[in-house]
Amino acid sequence: MAKIETPQPVRGTQSLLGEEADRFHAVIAAFDATRRLFCFKRVEVPVIESTAVFARTIGETTDVVSKEMYSFEDRSGDSITLRPELTAGIARAFLSEGWQQHAPLKVATWGASFRYERPQKGRFRQFHQLDAEIIGAAEPQADVEILSFGAQLLAELGISDGVTLKLNTLGDTESRDAWRAQLIEHFSGQDISPESRERLAKNPLRLLDSKDPRDQAAVTGAPVMRLSTEAEDFFGKVCAGLDAAGVTYELDPHLVRGLDYYRHTAFEFVTDWLGSQGAVIAGGRYDGLIESLGGPHTPAIGWAAGIERLAMMIDAPEPESPDVVLVPMGEAGEAAAIRLLAELRGKGLSVDMGLRGNMKKRMARADAAGAHFAVIVGDSEVEDAAAQVKNLQTGEQSAVPFASLAEALRR
């Protein structure tokens, strides 16, 4: 008989167990706790969307759409895409599910996203993001709220000291359009990479954060945005709000978002804890995104954060341990232990049961699991209707009637 090869994971995916899984869910727990503090509603959106949702919102000229999306035709011939990020699906739902009636809408979610890119430290082809959005609020206070949410999350995770908030403004339509024209004129006369030359007319702002040495040299001397009076006033209120909220930041005039629907505030929470400096939370105000999906003008702002990257930065949480481990011996003991197992769990105790080995081995496993108590149930205990309860911290042991076992273990 031919040997069956063991299936291997798809490149760029991972399976988690123990501490790694605990770190992952510690990030989610901190996010959910912060969401409740800031009164953001929990929301869920599909993992698959029509490809057009991402082509319109992320931009057909971006690398994500042109090179990285997992897209396919379903049996009906429709083009479907595994979501590469969460904001577009939330924006689509805002329109198609009638959520406009709830605006301004504060929502938060987390889940898997997919991009075909080279796997590297903290980056995977199936990765997971936290996402927070405020849709339908044009006020600068919404920007302060979303940024404060990000800062509070990092504080909840205990990593604030290792992260810096970089902040910039992309101005209003008037400021941005004038700046865009100036950038095209500036870069047209520079020696820039072929890739940047291709995107110059459609997406000149992306050259400002290009990693290509030729582009970085060309950025020197690039024109700086001149804000309109209205845009300057808006950004001033955002900065004043952050100061009042105690959120520290650094201004970064080269921090940009290339897509045309981004306006005003752009930001990244960056760290060098993971090697070269990289963003752990990134976002901005996208006042034109809903319009790109055919909806009315709807101001909005939000951010996304990589769960895997945040999980690498936090301290390992305390491992979960059972309150009680049942140690049955003999057929009568095992039958009684199954009944006790259900009863104790029904009373809110976390209970496991030793399934194999002699008494010594089962007790050793209970101790290694970090249990508070071991409950021994053998033939004699069944006859007496009383279990032997051993406190694994103190070593004390006593007989406790089955009828009062849950109450005694709770004490």
- Domain at 348, CATH number: 3.40.50.800
Nearest CA to 241 out of 139, 131, 108 is that of: 139
- Residues 298, 353, single domain; the answer is no
Residue 29 has what DSSP assignment? Answer: H
Residue 284 falls inside a structural domain: yes
pLDDT (0 to 100) of residue 105: 97
Cα gap 377→334, rounded to integer Å? 7
- Residues 282, 340, single domain; the answer is no
Q: Residue 127 is encoded by which pair of tokens?
A: 């990765």
Count of structural domains, the chain? 2
Residue 368 falls inside a structural domain: yes
Count, residues in the chain? 411
pLDDT tens for residues 273-330? 877 658 999 999 998 899 989 999 999 999 999 999 999 999 988 888 999 999 999 8
At 226, the pLDDT band (50, 70, 90 cuts) reads confident
The CB density around residue 277, as the number of other CB atoms within 10 Å, is 12
Residue 2 falls inside a structural domain: no
Provide the residue range defining the domain that includes 392: 324-410
Residues 6+ apart with CB under 8 A from 375: 324, 325, 326, 327, 340, 387, 388, 389, 390, 405, 409
Q: Residue 206 is encoded by which pair of tokens?
A: 């992306």
pLDDT higher than threshold 80 for residue 121: no
- Residues 287, 398, single domain; the answer is no
pLDDT higher than threshold 90 for residue 55: no
- Residues 107, 24, single domain; the answer is yes
Maximum Cα interatomic distance, the chain, rounded to a whole number of Å = 94
111 phi and psi angles, rounded to 5 deg: 170, 180
Cα gap 224→227, rounded to integer Å? 9
- Residues 281, 357, single domain; the answer is no
pLDDT (0 to 100) of residue 1: 65
Q: Residue 132 is encoded by which pair of tokens?
A: 């927070």
Residue 65 has what DSSP assignment? Answer: I
- Residues 331, 243, single domain; the answer is no
pLDDT higher than threshold 90 for residue 126: yes
Cα gap 100→77, rounded to integer Å? 31
- Residues 271, 153, single domain; the answer is yes
- Residues 161, 92, single domain; the answer is yes
- Residues 151, 259, single domain; the answer is yes
Cα gap 215→198, rounded to integer Å? 13
pLDDT-wise least confident of 145-149, 203-207, 342-346: 203-207
Cα gap 190→216, rounded to integer Å? 11
pLDDT (0 to 100) of residue 196: 80
Cα gap 256→225, rounded to integer Å? 11
Residue 14 falls inside a structural domain: no
pLDDT tens for residues 245-278? 999 999 998 888 766 678 899 999 999 887 765 8
Q: What is the mean pLDDT of the chain?
A: 90
Q: 313, 346, 368: which is the final residue of a domain?
A: 313
- The CATH number assigned to the domain holding 159 equals 3.30.930.10
Residue 185 falls inside a structural domain: no
For 101-231, where are the E strands, in sequence order? 105-114, 126-135, 164-169
- Residues 249, 352, single domain; the answer is no
Q: 313, 333, 368: which is the final residue of a domain?
A: 313
At 244, the pLDDT band (50, 70, 90 cuts) reads very high
- Residues 154, 270, single domain; the answer is yes
- Residues 361, 401, single domain; the answer is yes
Cα gap 76→21, rounded to integer Å? 38
At 176, the pLDDT band (50, 70, 90 cuts) reads confident
Sheet holding 126-135, edge to edge: 41-42, 105-114, 126-135, 300-306, 278-285, 263-271, 164-169, 250-251
Q: Residue 92 is encoded by which pair of tokens?
A: 């689509």
Q: 247, 278, 313: which is the final residue of a domain?
A: 313
Residue 204 falls inside a structural domain: no
Residue 212 falls inside a structural domain: no
Q: Are 255 and 267 spatial neighbours (Cβ–Cβ below 8 Å)?
A: yes
Cα gap 25→308, rounded to integer Å? 10
376 phi and psi angles, rounded to 5 deg: -95, 125
pLDDT tens for residues 372-400? 999 999 999 999 999 999 999 999 999 99
Respond yes or no on whether the N-terminal peptide bond of residue 104 is cis (omega within 30° of 0).
Answer: yes
Cα gap 61→283, rounded to integer Å? 20
In this prediction the pTM is 0.87
Q: Are 44 and 109 spatial neighbours (Cβ–Cβ below 8 Å)?
A: yes
At 59, the pLDDT band (50, 70, 90 cuts) reads low
Residue 214 falls inside a structural domain: no
